[in-house]
Structure 1
């Protein structure tokens, strides 16, 4: 084949998969931290509407932090385990098809490259070269969008979610228990809104999306959560519950 890029690259969804995987982990981390910030802030601000006891606020915040972090971790583990099982099953089926009908699989790969704009001759040559190098990887990347070298690990996902949630949750927890009682709510609100601005900006940049709407959504969502829980806590406190 000539010197065109198709002779030296493996076109497909998984091309550049290493960078894509890292960005996905970063986005997941930002979302986990954002969840930790909002849920814990809503919890401690709601409790602050009932009591000014630092011990009670700390206990409630720690309980929310632990429950949320473990919930995030278990949810990610189950979700990613399901994804991993599906990817492994798809690869196993592709491996069987390559062993049983290699000619048909080569024709299928050629057709996929033609669908992407290559001429039949170039598509055939690319398919033959990639099949000769590693048929399973070629089909996995182009046909399935899976990189066999980067099958997701549910334990990595679980730990990443647990850690990111915990880091996010620590901010409102510390903000509500460290200042004097008269400053707890304003300090927490300011700290949380600033953190949400940061996570909104970071998430937008990682996702290459507009920054301002992302930041605004984050701030409005977090602010609404704190307002609702504080109002509910104040009502319960006023009712003597």
Structure 2
């Protein structure tokens, strides 16, 4: 009876985009709200800036992820085209190449060649894509998926501090947005670490520290320009 392990690596692509999007949504929007609030802006201007930041940030995240992951996909496709041509022009050399790869992984030469022959008989390009280039269905670039997850999770992340800025006006706005955003960041970091099979404490601490730093800097900048313009 087999006992398959619950591996986490198949989640790497969408998890990265989702965590990055939500994290940026919380940090950038909360920092923007805090910076403008400490500059003594009215609640209307704070909300307007927050909404603009949400829309612009979501579109920027989607576009950035799409362009970045598309470039990765282009590189993968180019490598696969080269490999396909090599298989058509010199199949035996490619067989030897795959055999050497298996030998370096610990197989004796005869077994390594036998494995290479059987795998290439089944799917030569797939075998080289996986074992020579490191490209699999799990790790291959998916631009639209990355763009979608980034935009949606950025919007969700940004909506959290923005909703607090709308619900809690006045002198409590800054502290409420800061504390709640840090809580959301810690929760997000812990959840992402749990899904990815990493340390929950380390994941939560990492995003919280950087979020606190970003909000602190924008608060200082906002306060400086608010005082300077009075």
Asked whether the two chains share a fold, i.e. TM above 0.5, the reply is yes
Paired residues, what number?
225
Change (3 A) 1:122 1:22: same
Aligned twin of 2:79 = 90
* Structure 2 gap ranges (5+): none
Once the two structures are superposed, the pairs formed by residues 5-44 of structure 1 within 5 Å of their partners are: 20-44=9-33
Aligned twin of 1:190 = 179
User: 1:184, CA displacement in angstroms?
Assistant: 1.3
Aligned twin of 2:109 = 120
Work out the CA distance in 2 between the residues paired with 1:236 and 1:72: 28
> Is the CA contact (8 Å cut-off) linking 1:130 and 1:138 kept in structure 2?
yes
> Is the CA contact (8 Å cut-off) linking 2:9 and 2:196 kept in structure 1?
no
User: 1:91, CA displacement in angstroms?
Assistant: 0.7
1:103-160 deviation digits (Å, cap 9, x = unpaired): 1111111111111111112111111111111111011111011126974232222122
Q: Report SS of the residue matched to 1:144.
A: coil
TM-score (norm 1): 0.85
Aligned-residue RMSD, C-alpha: 2.1
Work out the CA distance in 2 between the residues paired with 1:40 and 1:234: 17
Once the two structures are superposed, the pairs formed by residues 124-163 of structure 1 within 5 Å of their partners are: 124-147=113-136, 151-163=140-152
Q: Report SS of the residue matched to 2:132.
A: helix
Aligned twin of 1:10 = none
Change (3 A) 1:207 1:153: closer
> Is the CA contact (8 Å cut-off) linking 1:23 and 1:206 kept in structure 2?
no
Change (3 A) 1:211 1:19: closer
Work out the CA distance in 1 between the residues paired with 2:12 and 2:67: 21
Q: Report SS of the residue matched to 2:39.
A: coil
Question: Are 1:235 and 2:221 an aligned pair?
Answer: no
